[in-house]
Amino acid sequence: MSLFDLSGVVQSFANVAVTVRRYAAETYGTDGKAVARTYVDTPGVFVNVQPVRGADLQRMPEGTRDGDELIALFTTTELRTKDQIAIPTRGNFEVEGVPVWQSNGNFWKAIARKRASSEPRS
């Protein structure tokens, strides 16, 4: 439990409406073949988009710290690793990391990487 509830502050700065796509867990039929994955799109999630700097950038795996566009997202909506985020005018991103912030102010912070249009969606 946080000493402070910062969700109102984060929400007041969240000025970009995005769509979050979350895939369900993989399932397999009785024949052992994978069943097509389902997903849920959640439109209208408001986030604040910031560049990734400092310690967050240093925590990224070696070789992934430059070249691709990384962003930090702050929101009051829960984000998970592998969620896909569609940001108008910026493109599609995939959440790569979610540092534990929800207990320190009742909001979520996520690090996301821009996806190339040629990348397969899984």
Say what the pTM is: 0.77
Q: pLDDT tens, 30-85?
A: 999 988 888 999 999 999 998 887 777 766 666 665 545 888 899 888 899 999 99
Q: pLDDT tens, 42-52?
A: 999 999 998 88
In this prediction, residue 51 carries a pLDDT of 85
Domain ranges of the chain: 7-24+34-114
Contacts 24+ apart (CB under 8 A), 1-10: 1/103, 2/103, 2/104, 2/105, 2/106, 4/105, 5/105, 5/106, 6/105, 6/106, 6/107, 7/76, 7/105, 7/106, 7/107, 10/48, 10/74, 10/75, 10/76, 10/105, 10/107
Write down the CATH number for the domain with range 7-24+34-114.
2.40.10.270
In this prediction, residue 68 carries a pLDDT of 59
